[in-house]
Structure 1
Amino acid sequence: MRDMKRNWKAKSWLGIVGAAVMALPAFGQSVATQVPEVLESRASAAETNDTPAAPPVAGSDLAKGAVAKWIWGASASKKYLMSKEVETGAVSKAVCRFTCDNEVKLKVNGKDAGASTEWQAPVTKDVTDMLKPGKNTILAEVANEGSAAGFAFKMIITGADGKTTEVVSDESWSVVEAGKPGATAKPKVVGKMGDNPWGNVFAGSVGRGGAQANQGFQLPEGFQIERLFTVPKATHGSWVCLTTDDKGRLIASDQGGMGLYRIIPGKPGTSEPTKVEKLDVKMTGAQGMLFAFGSLYVCANGGPGSGLYRLRDTNGDDQFDEVVKLKELRGGGEHGPHALRLSPDGKSILVSCGNHTLPPADFKKSRVPSNWSEDHLLPRQWDANGHARGILAPGGYIAKTDPEGKEWEIVSIGYRNQYDFAFNPEGEMFVYDADMEWDFGMPWYRPTRVNHATSGSELGWRSGTGKWPPYYVDSLPAMVDIGPGSPVGVEFGTGAKFPAKYQKALYICDWTFGTMYAIHTTPSGSTYAATKEEFVSRAPLPLTDVVIGKDGAMYFTVGGRGTQSELYRVTYVGKESTAPVVQGNDKSDANEQLRQLRRKLEEFHGDSKAGDEDLKLILANLSHKDRFIRYAARVALEHQGVAMWREAALATESPAGRIQGVVALARQGDKGLEDKAVDALLALDFKSFDDPTMLDWLRSLQVVFARMGEPGKATAAKALAALDPLFPAKNAFVNRELINLVVYLDSPTVAGKAAKLLAAPPEEAKDDSLGGLLARNSGYGGTINQVMANRPDAQKIHYLFALRNLKNHWTIDQRKAFFTALNEARTRSGGASYQGFLNNIEKDAYENAKDTDRLAIEALGLRKPAKAVSLPKPAGPGKAWTLDELAGLTKDGFKGRNFANGKKSFASARCVVCHRFNGEGGATGPDLSQVVGRFSPKDLAESIVDPNKVISDQYRASTIETNSGKVIAGKIVNETAAALVVVTDPEDSTKVLEVKKSDVESIKPSPVSLMPGKLIDGLNKDEVLDLLAYMLSRGDATSPFFGK
């Protein structure tokens, strides 16, 4: 998706044509309108054939035959009207395809035929009903804002006699400057379809490093998609949040400072326009909105300040005149406060907060036992690039509050950055959580995933290497893993006029890969199993939010981070029934009975005290075969006084029940109970356990040691005697937990056993399931493809990570095996923090070695620490480059550029120090692999010359003034109750400064980017061009930019 370039105001069209398609409003005075446009999709393309006499024109036919030419007026910087008169007889079928760099609105005989804001994604439109016998006028209103300019068009007309006529853009068209009526002229031919810099976008190939051109949306059969509104970015911003009000209208929010907008879509199935009104209220930056209790609740992230706000109309004028901040939420940015939902009983509001948001300072209740902790047996390493350094449990969380925002209760914890969540008709909550892409290739990488978030649930996110695997007994697993991506909007299909399957589905949106999934859930015991289906996709399609309207249609937005926003509608026009599905709780169903049992246990998550019979129920269900019921019982137990259940938990005969009881005791009991807890676990017949029970047993021992502290010598010896013979086991995950424990207990045999495992051939993991997904974002997806093509052995990395802590019992051959495996891992590919993690593992291992071992390691050359890369110097001579000069250089596109010199310039201009690109580089700035796909040459040049113009929240610096008058500039990477952690050097994320909150006078967002200006001033003309070509090609040496 191209961004930074959409400043085209609707008023640009006033005076160009008789009546504007869109008119922008002032506050509360007028509305913008736009006629809906049915778009081509995989399933609906064949359904456009209404006249049997003529077969539909396939999209592929528009890529064949007569070749369209790219045309423009005399100046690339001016707006033009381009027109063509076409004479026809009776028309049976007419389909056109068009695109423009940058923007076009097309009319056929004065009727709107569509608009394009992405040259990579041509619009295909059936215009049969717009043509008439005789003369027909095609009018294109075009605009460009720098760099190459061009408009391309092709139409295939099938007459009543079956003969076809092709109309293409060429020198036969007429052109006149917009807003300046006068004599028309012939257009300038810029090139023909297939030429650089655009490539043959009509056939699906892109020339200048853009995303693969799409031939329409992908939807299941029978669904139709419409573009309802193209958001004028300069006045309406970039929309990231949607909700519906009590009248069925939509409300959208800009991510930045452009405010809130009320939207009234036309009736589905008609050509009624969509009406958009800017609300007259000082509110913006919403990432969560909810209309409830006669008010609009807004979870602001930025804008007026992070917090929960209530907006009311107190005088009946249909505008929100009262804004009250109900609660400050202590966090911000892209990992700050997010979505809002009404509770299933309609009495409360639930709030989703990412992992950079502290829990409310005065929360009184928690369904999760509130003594949460990291619960690591071995020392954690923070992210090697400093991300989320110092952020501790609970991580991201979901909280519940009353309509006044006064009483707060923590409901679920352990998320990374869960933007949105939703409830199914049975009142069960489902949460879409983010991955940490920098972990890719590491054993602690967790993909984006959908969680069934039950009462008191812990989902196991911890910072850095500390993320819990899904099998940990003190957490709950994901319902379904999705893969890499960026989770945004979530909505159930309840109320949609869709077939039954899709009414029941959960819809989740991925911003990075432009894919909306339908998650189909099936009851499975007291929880659910799920499968994923791609529901809506296109490249590019930066989804932000989705809602089901009161009219039964689905509405979704694209945009975010300053990109071009649009509003779309999905309806079902197929033949299946769309009658409402009755969804309720069938009490005779076995799965529902298990859910009722779990809910009964969840009644004791909090202040409710269990009576004798209740306690019996709780203890009995610690050993239930259903994992979610066991979990609910253990959390209920922890909310009761330890003295009530201590002895019973330790004496439980069932292995599952005793394991759960000991975990509860470790989390709530004191150090004096540690020996009893360990003895209770060792008394079980653990050698007969299956793998899941073995993993639970091993984790329960870890929780005991992590919570209660290092065991006494006798207890440690007993534990080691039981564990040491078990390693290595056949199951890889059992081995991971075993090596953690035996290293912790200082096993004298683990180094020798592990050395053999490290010397074994690597496990070559293969996964071809992501191919189609990754192709939708060839920058970010290309980086992951590189990782997958050279994937590391995650199991061996886990062994290295654990063994780094072992100080004793090494031979030099075993050390050799360790460092040999470490150096082999360095030859593999991973996420942005991969090499940094390996460096830190090596550093810890070397520092934990005895002095004599260190000498031997160095003498034998076993340790090969990563060396700082010396950056090349530019050839020069450079100059103080301006944006106009760069625009002049790029106006003719890129051809015959030098790939090697572009890569060198990327380093010599110091881009590589802060930015990940093509799988290499730093990480204090955005990963340019995924960013440049949304940039034109002008956009990219502008971001280099003027890095302060657009700054992402994720990378924005702050200016901190202390009470003593000291000013500190840097990026706040963590905030605790007592201090701020600030990275002060954008080129070195390890340089952090801790600032006590008591010393802070003020904190303001810095208008100055962490990225310095003038980085390319040392480069000469060829170096600049080669650098831009290298970046826009996404590091592809085979791009048409390079070679002759």
Structure 2
Amino acid sequence: MKFLNITLVFCIIYCSCSTKETGNPANGDYPIITVPEGFEATMLYSPTEHGQGSWVSLTYDDNGRLITSDQYGRLYRITLEGAGVTVDSINLNIGSAQGLLWKDGGLFVSVNARPNDTFNGSGVYRITDSDGDDELDDVKQLISLEGEGEHGPHAIIEGPDGKSLYLIAGNHTLVPENSTSILNANWKEDRLYPAILDPRGHANNIKPPGGWIARSDDDGQSWNVIASGFRNAYDIAFNVEGELFTYDSDMEWDLGSPWYRPTRVCHVIPGAEFGWRTGSGKWPAYYPDNLPPVIDIGQGSPTGITFGYGAKFPAEYQSSLYISDWSFGTIYKVDLSENGASYSAKKSEFLSGTPLAITDLVIAPDGNMYFTTGGRRGTSYLYRVRYTGNAATDPVQMASANSSARTAMHALMEPAVPLDEIWNGLSSDDRFIRYSARVALEKHPADSWLSKLEAESQPSIIFEAAIAAAHSNDVRLKNPLLSKLKSVDPEKLDLQSKLALVRVYALIFSRLGAPDNDIRSNLPAYPGGNAALDREMSEMLVYLDHAEVIEPTLTLMEQAEATIEADLTPVDVLERSEQYGPTIKAMHENRPAEQGIALARALSHQESGWTPELRERYFRWFYRALQKSGGWSYIGFVERIRLEALDQVPADERKQLAEISGEALLNQPSYDSNVPPPSGPGKNWQISMALEAVNGQLEGKDLKRGEELYKALLCASCHSMDGLGGNVGPDLTQAGTRFSNYDLLMAMISPSMSISDQYAATLFALRDGNTVVGRTTRTTDDTAYVNVNPFGNDEISIAADNIESQVPSPVSLMPGGLINSLNDEELRQLMAYLSKSRNDSK
């Protein structure tokens, strides 16, 4: 079927110093878009208006035609002809693609299926035109993947050699069956204590390696994992030197915790590990067994990325990396600079809009940038960005020679590299070279180089070789490694080397077992005056049950203020995101002491050395911490730490310590639920009649009554508005700026139509024949704890050996028909309240 837009191509032109609004037929207003002076952003087409879903991925074919996919539906081919846009449906049993690549006359498709999807399941497919009639008609599955949803299989791109394929998947996708790996594939949590799992249940059953990137050299028939430890990076791109980059996501619910990591651009070298682990288990960037980002971007939701090569833009825009943020409606321009074997970077905003849920972008053969908006069945558009200014747009000659440091780094990953050359790489001042040398060393049996380690005196080599040995999981190596580490004087090390020393000890203990002898004299001094080192040392000393750790750690906790390393998004940007905005705004005003949380978490495991006075100091700290503002899991994380600490307390002291630690604060309702119920009479609201009742009729409605109805319908039990309410579902404070009336009404009438992975329930099939649907709150080795009540806390336990399977539930926790008790005027009042941010933003 073809859809031709012959009426009007809507054009929005802005410069860096001015903006304007024009009418939007889908939600009453076009997004406000800002681009640099001389650039033009043009809305070309709305798939939503044509019943073609919400587009989330883009590529182009040999004829320059764009190809896209609905997140939950079909593939489409887009032909741009002057002011006209022709969209053809690709009528094959394949879709839900979050990665598309046209290569060698065919379309590679990374399918991200959902349970009960009518399309082919998750995996990589190739579609070709078998009879030369310019219609794709033949579908071949290359590999099946176990993973789906927003953290499932994502982008697929061509390698710089023009032959290979690269695929990235989110952390809910298992590594392909029968795949190989550049990395040592015995991935573990590698922490001294089990992680505190997300109290809201997200990703609690996800094990290492998290998200991964794999390469295929045979058109997708087999795959080799080249990097791991991502959370949910959506897209990948090569620069002109053949270096791979991605933009990885954060977990916004972790804001305020010491393990929070902002969104980040990563330089993905062969064998890279970036340390994502679930809950509190995430690795900080300074751990030597993972790699740091090129640049932290901040809060957001990463989607499509691309380099500007081939763009008919001024020279300073052609070599930049463009990264998309769905939540804040922003395309960032990231400029990379040489920094040894890797890069440093600077970011700036290239394009932003409100609302503008950007999903993917490409530089097409015509030299323009195209991007799509939408996702989660939201209102979707196709935009073109082109340069119309006076600056020259001639192609810039791109340098393609790698630096000598990068050449040395890559040489270490070649087959049959001599052991002596690898050993020399372990001593490099360049972290990326040291890392690559260690990955290469792990390909050699430890027995072949232990004698070299025994004779080694350089700390950096000792640390890297000890990491390689620990990764072997050979417990016979524990005592030889500990003996060698004793030869290192911690007081002669710089800060990074001290951090590496403590990490190596922790890795040995977590993989090979606890030490047989006291090693405290071989550790750096504590406190050491550096936040990161104090965190690592406090946990290590607690692990060793060093009684003298308590008093100095309490002093550090009491002194700690807002010491989070990550920057928070500026207040003037927060209005772009209902997902992050209210949370971060509250944190700006009432920021928690992240350093204190890390230290409190360490002391929660301390057994010996406590006195009544020390315990009282410790537990009073929680009273202050529970009153701070953080991400939606912040209070839950602090509460888990508090409960773990209470488990260490003698039974006769628990009640008093529970009281002074703020237990009463946890039982306070976050909103007033004593409100008048709907008057009715209600009706069985359908989307068409609901739209007819509200469209164009919300101005001047009673917002106070709308708020009362919002609470009376129990919306506030699950959703937060203006900082008050529950956190089972998305924050709705700025829902009106991101979602149209149609989107909001559909979410209430048919909530199971689109369920974000972050808010999905789990469907447990039990061996006794029963099923359970709810959110996993925590797990142990033998039990899963599940909250089955979306409006409160009704936790049940399930024996692990009774679980046959667990999959994302296709049914939303939010019941349908909640608005059926409302009359027409009450529906308008509720919708006016939900969409009030649409007017506030003008």
Alignment partner of 1:851 out of 615, 630, 651: 651
Pairing partner for 1:839 from 639, 648, 652? 639
Give the corresponding residue for 1:358: 174
Match of 1:808 in 2: 608
In structure 2, the CA distance between the partners of 1:872 and 1:497, relative to structure 1 (3 Å rule), is closer
Aligned to 1:1009: 812
Paired residue for 1:734?
533
- Show the counterpart of 1:631: 435
Map of 2:556 onto structure 1 = 757
- Supply the AA of the counterpart residue of 2:94: M
Residues 233 and 992 from structure 1, CA distance in 2 versus in 1: closer, same or farther, beyond 3 angstroms? farther
Normalising by structure 2, we get a TM-score of 0.91
Paired position in structure 1 for 2:116: none
Deviations 1:340-366 (A, max 9, x none): 011222222111110001111221x21
Compute the displacement of 1:418 (Å): 0.6
Superposed, 1:214-363 pairs within 5 Å as 214=32, 217-257=33-73, 259-266=74-81, 271-302=82-113, 303-363=119-179
User: What is aligned with 1:706?
Assistant: 510
Ranges in structure 1 where 5+ consecutive residues have no aligned partner = 1-24, 46-58, 61-96, 104-116, 122-212
Q: 1:876 to 1:559 in 2, by over 3 A?
A: closer
SS, match of residue 283 in structure 1: strand
Specify the SS of the correspondent of 2:547: coil
Would you say 1:459 and 2:459 are equivalent positions? Answer: no
1:31-70 CA-to-partner distances (Å, cap 9, x unmatched) read 555765542211597xxxxxxxxxxxxx78xxxxxxxxxx
Show CA shifts across 1:820-859 (max 9, x none). 211101111000001111111111000122335436635x
| Residue number among 444, 451, 465 corresponding to 1:647 in the alignment | 451
The residue matched to 1:623 in structure 2 has which SS? coil
**In the alignment, what sits opposite 1:449?**
264
- Report the AA paired with residue 28 of structure 2: W
Gap change, CA 1:562 and 1:769, over 3 Å in 2: closer
Equivalent residues of 1:812, 1:856 under 8 A apart? no
Say whether residues 1:659 and 2:463 are aligned partners. Answer: yes
2:197 maps to which residue?
382
Alignment of 1:57-76 (within 5 A): none
Deviations 1:564-606 (A, max 9, x none): 222222222333332323224447xxxx111100000122xxx
Contact 1:388–1:974 (CA<8 Å) still a contact in 2? no
Superposed displacement of residue 381, structure 1 = 0.5
Deviation at 1:904, TM superposition (A): 5.7
| 1:41 maps to amino acid | Y
Q: 1:420 aligns with which of 218, 235, 239?
A: 235
> SS at the partner of 1:602?
coil
Q: Secondary structure at the residue paired with 1:518? A: strand
* SS at 1:746 equivalent: coil
> Quick check: 665-674 or 980-989, which moved more?
980-989
Secondary structure, counterpart of 1:640 in structure 2: coil
Asked if residue 41 in structure 1 is aligned to residue 14 in structure 2, the reply is yes
Aligned counterpart, 1:478 = 293
Contact persistence 2:717–2:726 (CA under 8 A): yes
Structure 1: distance between partners of 2:667 and 2:777: 24
What is the CA–CA distance in structure 2 between the aligned matches of 1:249 and 1:379, rounded to whole Å? Answer: 50
Quick one: percent identity of the two aligned structures?
37
The SS at the match of 2:528 is coil
How far apart are residue 951 of structure 1 and its match? 4.3
- The corresponding residue for 1:495 is 310
Q: Relative to structure 2, which stretch is displaced further, 337-346 or 882-891?
A: 882-891
Please, which moves more after superposition, 685-694 or 745-754?
685-694
Q: Distance in 1 between matches of 2:546 and 2:334?
A: 46
Q: 2:206 aligns with which of 375, 391, 403?
A: 391
Task: Read off the aligned partner of 2:195 and give its amino acid letter.
Answer: R
CA distance in 2, matches of 1:1022, 1:814: 59
2:638 aligned partner, one-letter code: L
**Pair 609,912 (structure 1): closer, same or farther in 2 beyond 3 Å:** farther
Quote the Cα distance in structure 1 between the aligned partners of 2:17 and 2:553: 57
Match of 1:509 in 2: 324
Distance of aligned partners of 1:880 and 1:387 in 2 relative to their CA distance in 1, 3 Å threshold = farther
Q: Distance in 2 between matches of 1:910 and 1:264?
A: 47
Aligned equivalents of 1:448 and 1:401: distance in 2?
27
3-state SS, counterpart of residue 323 of structure 2: strand
1:913 equivalent among 717, 720, 724? 717
Distance 1:682 1:795 in 2: 29
| Mapped contact 2:71–2:97 kept (Cα < 8 A) | yes
Give the structure-1-normalised TM-score: 0.74
How far did 1:875 drift?
2.9
Deviation at 1:492, TM superposition (A): 1.0
* Alpha-carbon spacing, 1:865–1:324, altered in 2? closer, same or farther (3 Å): farther
Change (3 A) 1:254 1:783: same
Superposed, which structure 2 residues align to 1:414-813 within 5 Å?
Answer: 414-586=229-401, 592-603=403-414, 608-610=415-417, 614-712=418-516, 714=517, 717=518, 719-723=519-523, 726-760=525-559, 762-763=561-562, 770-777=570-577, 780-813=580-613
Task: Give the match's secondary structure for 2:412.
Answer: helix
Question: For 1:1026 and 1:38, how far apart are their aligned partners in 2?
Answer: 33
- Native 8 Å contact 1:33 1:275 kept in 2: no
Contact preservation (8 Å) 1:984, 1:993: no
1:34 touches 1:274 (CA, 8 Å); kept in 2?
no
Q: Distance in 1 between matches of 2:96 and 2:548?
A: 57
Partner of 1:99: 23
**Cα offsets for 1:76-108 (capped at 9, x unmatched):** xxxxxxxxxxxxxxxxxxxxx7536xx2xxxxx
TM-superposed deviation, 1:118? 4.3
What one-letter code is carried by the residue in structure 1 that aligns with 2:121? G
SS of aligned partner of 1:843: helix
Q: Secondary structure of the equivalent of 1:530?
A: strand
Displacement after TM superposition at 1:1031 (Å): 3.4
Assess, with a 3 A threshold, how the Cα gap between structure 1 residues 465 and 974 changes in structure 2: closer, same or farther.
closer
- How many residue pairs get matched? 828
- Indicate the RMSD between aligned Cα atoms, in angstroms: 3.4
* Shift in Å, 1:561: 1.4
Q: Mind listing any 5+ residue stretches in structure 2 that lack a counterpart?
A: 114-118
Letter in 2 for 1:678: L
Question: Residues 651, 855 of structure 1: CA spacing in aligned structure 2 closer, same or farther, 3 A cutoff?
Answer: farther
Q: CA deviation at 1:785?
A: 1.1
Structure 1 pair 514–929 and aligned structure 2 pair: CA distance change class (3 A): same
Task: Point out the more displaced range, 940-949 or 438-447.
Answer: 940-949
Deviation at 1:679, TM superposition (A): 2.5
Instruction: Using the TM superposition, give the Cα deviation of residue 378 of structure 1 relative to its aligned residue in structure 2, in angstroms.
Output: 2.2
Distance 1:722 1:975 in 2: 35
Counterpart amino acid of 1:337?
P
Instruction: For residues 280-310 of structure 1, give each alpha carbon's deviation from its aligned partner in whole angstroms, at most 9, with x where no partner exists.
Output: 3222111001111332110011242211111
Alpha-carbon deviation of 1:533? 1.5
Matched residues in 2 for 1:753 and 1:1004: separation?
45
Residue aligned with 2:100, SS = strand
Deviations 1:13-42 (A, max 9, x none): xxxxxxxxxxxx35xxx7555765542211
Partner of 1:242, secondary structure, is: strand
CA change 1:469–1:686 in 2 (3 A) is same
Residue type of the partner of 2:676?
A: A
Question: Given that residues 764 and 803 in structure 2 are in contact (C-alpha distance below 8 angstroms), is that contact kept between their aligned partners in structure 1?
Answer: no
Tell me the equivalent position of 1:943.
747
1:352 and 1:419 in contact (8 A); partners too: yes
Question: C-alpha displacement at 1:967, in angstroms?
Answer: 4.9
Superposition deviation, residue 797 in structure 1: 0.8
Higher Rg of the two aligned structures: 1
Amino acid at match of 1:947: P
